[in-house]
Structure 1
Amino acid sequence: SSRSRSSSEKTFFISSVMTEQVSSSIYPADSAEINVQGSIQFAVNYIQKLGELHIFVMHCRDLATADRKKHRSDPYVKCYLLPDTTKLGKRKTSVKKKTLNPTYSEILTFKVMMQVLKTQSLNVSVWHDSSFGRNRFLGDVNLNLLEWDFSNTQINEYVLKTRVNLSPFMFIIYVTYCGLIARTGRRTSTMESAEVQIWVKDCKNLPLVRGLVIDPFVKCTLRPDTSRRSRQRTRVVTRTANPMFNHTMVYDGLRPEDLREVCIEITVWDHGRLDNHYIGGLRLGLGTGESYGVEVSWMDSTTDEADLWQRMLRSDGEWVEDVLPLRMLMMPKSISK
């Protein structure tokens, strides 16, 4: 079962900060980093009559070698309009085999209104296509479209950057997190129950995802249960990128063994009259990729998120704290409202 309540009392909290890092859905975890090098040539052109943004991807030069055993890279280019990192928001070129200097001459197209476009950031990344395992990150470029001169339709060359110092957005969310704060049960029974509390304090410097104002709120879900009973949320704080919530969310009735199979998903949203707009989130769990023996996409906690969860499991009722990055999460449409 679950419940939520407001909290005005002082207590421990953790500061979860996105320090110019970006989505793990854009940058999957990769244990073997590649030293990024080289450049990419592309042009940006907005076609007013069509309401389309065209990215003309021309050429890459002097890319890093991804497959060191075979001394080769099979690169392709991928584009997102951040903060949208869904599959529907992704565009990519063909793969060029066995080359560090690929030529594409391909146009990637986004159907988007100019007023929306100016609230977004263009992420252009280069990847090695791996036949086995994860694709390898070869570098990227980010353009803040609010400041972009759309009269510049020439092919420009950009130095590829590593995956730090990428995002133009800075997020801060304070969360109080406590695990196993209650262990109860009759003396004649071996059954124990656990309670998890998440205290959302406030957010700072949230991006304006749909114009000049933002009406943020925070949602929490205990996966794999995505029913309404599992979903909790704070109130909406209107017209501010620095909302104060002071709200505690509680999940109880869990068995200790359940805590190795579940995941606490915390997300930040901008409230809209017709639809809510996703901003970012994090997932607290073991990050094993499985839940109760079934492979699941949402058990994808980063190393730091999983480390916090593991420390909570070992805490024996004590509060744990850490600094964590807020990131983009891949979520089914059915639970994104």
Structure 2
Amino acid sequence: FSGSVMTMESGDFGSVDVQGSIQFSINYVQKLREFHIFVAQCRDLAAADPKRGRSDYVKSYLVPDKIHLGKKKTSVKKKTLNPTFNEILRYRVSSEYLRTQTLVLSVWHHDTFGRNNFLGEVDTDLSKWDFDHTHMNDLPLRARVEEIHIWVKECKSLPLIRATIDPYVKFVLPDTSRKSRQKTRVLRRTADPVFNHTMVYDGIREMDLAEACVELSVWDRDKLASSLLGGLRLGAGTRSYGSAVDWMDSTPEEVALWARMAASPNEWAEAVLPLRMMSSAK
């Protein structure tokens, strides 16, 4: 797409040494058919950049989560390395399905400018869990996470398809549920929008990177409809989890960026990539 570029970074955060613990309990409520996670508190969390203050939260998700229940989050607690939450995260799910899952609780430092810091995580194999045990668990946080972070910084020289445009960026994993679809805010009257927006995909394993594809597309929001301005697809090839699909058409530049990201976990892979027209943008 001549004259248009998208600057983005993709990677996993690992800039803070993990320490501390998390206290939580889990329970399956048969009457409600709900899985409840009571997040009590965290203790002795690692300190991120002290200039930015403290703003921490806990995120939960189930893996492999084939029915796309999604992630849940606590509120953000500020100004403490020992945040107390006392919150319940709920999933409506059958007990049979639950026993095929692993619960992951991860702790994050929230940054309003887009770069959240990973502070540690714990996981619980629910196939082996005694659900009669509803007492509090106090587990040390560990330094591993399997997520993809995509940080869209800005676009330059977007095409003026009308007098002024109001651009935004849409993210999607085309082979997953609508819950994977996210978008940035709309920026008014600019062909050079600065988004500084981070989008996170949870529960993607290293082995999935060979057959996954992330689509980023830029749109102009008008009163009646949105118009596609261009996009790109980050992935490794043309097959999606064993099936040949026509939308996995990454260019060599897009494949190269994905490969650099996969080869360098816990580091940012940065690139400036040209936008192009996509015949079947999601």
Q: TM-score range by the shorter chain?
A: 0.5 to 0.7
Tell me, yes or no, if the aligned pair for 1:66 and 1:136 is still in contact at 8 Å.
Answer: yes
For the pair 1:82 / 2:63, whether they are aligned, the reply is yes
For the pair 1:140 / 2:121, whether they are aligned, the reply is yes
Where does residue 93 of structure 1 map in the other structure? 74
For the pair 1:120 / 2:101, whether they are aligned, the reply is yes
Gap change, CA 1:75 and 1:172, over 3 Å in 2: closer
Computing the radius of gyration from Cα coordinates, the structure with the larger value is 1
Which amino acid is the alignment partner of residue 80 of structure 1?
Y
Counterpart pick for 2:261 among 274, 297, 302: 302
Where does residue 49 of structure 2 map in the other structure? 67
Three-state SS of the structure 2 residue aligned to 1:69 is helix
Where does residue 17 of structure 2 map in the other structure? 35
Structure 2 regions of 5+ residues with no counterpart?
1-9, 148-202, 211-235, 266-280
For the pair 1:50 / 2:32, whether they are aligned, the reply is yes
1:301 and 1:46 mapped to 2: Cα distance?
A: 42
Give 1:134 deviation, angstroms.
1.3
Give 1:103 deviation, angstroms.
0.5
Q: TM-score, normalised by structure 1?
A: 0.46
Q: TM-score, normalised by structure 2?
A: 0.54
2:97 and 2:20 mapped to 1: Cα distance?
A: 31
Output aligned runs, 1:234-253, within 5 Å. none
User: Percent of aligned positions with the same letter in both sequences?
Assistant: 44
Give the aligned CA root-mean-square deviation in angstroms.
4.3
What whole-Å deviation, never above 9, does each CA across 1:31-52 have from its counterpart, x for those lacking one?
x511100001000000011110
Gap change, CA 1:157 and 1:118, over 3 Å in 2: same
Output aligned runs, 1:220-239, within 5 Å. 220-221=244-245, 229-230=246-247
Tell me, yes or no, if the aligned pair for 2:146 and 2:205 is still in contact at 8 Å.
Answer: no
Which amino acid is the alignment partner of residue 259 of structure 1?
P
Tell me, yes or no, if the aligned pair for 1:52 and 1:113 is still in contact at 8 Å.
Answer: yes
Tell me, yes or no, if the aligned pair for 2:40 and 2:85 is still in contact at 8 Å.
Answer: yes
2:105 and 2:66 mapped to 1: Cα distance?
A: 12
Structure 1 regions of 5+ residues with no counterpart?
1-26, 176-196, 201-215, 222-228, 232-250, 263-283, 288-299, 307-333
1:217 and 1:87 mapped to 2: Cα distance?
A: 16
1:74 and 1:170 mapped to 2: Cα distance?
A: 27
Output aligned runs, 1:151-190, within 5 Å. 151-163=132-144
Three-state SS of the structure 2 residue aligned to 1:44 is strand
2:247 and 2:146 mapped to 1: Cα distance?
A: 35
What whole-Å deviation, never above 9, does each CA across 1:197-243 have from its counterpart, x for those lacking one?
9698xxxxxxxxxxxxxxx961355xxxxxxx446xxxxxxxxxxxx
What whole-Å deviation, never above 9, does each CA across 1:244-280 have from its counterpart, x for those lacking one?
xxxxxxx7xx9xxx422x4xxxxxxxxxxxxxxxxxx
Which amino acid is the alignment partner of residue 112 of structure 2?
S
Tell me, yes or no, if the aligned pair for 1:120 and 1:146 is still in contact at 8 Å.
Answer: yes
Which amino acid is the alignment partner of residue 105 of structure 1?
N
Give 1:73 deviation, angstroms.
2.5
In terms of fraction of residues, the more strand-rich structure is 2
Gap change, CA 1:59 and 1:123, over 3 Å in 2: same
Query: Number of matched residues?
Result: 183
Where does residue 252 of structure 2 map in the other structure? 259
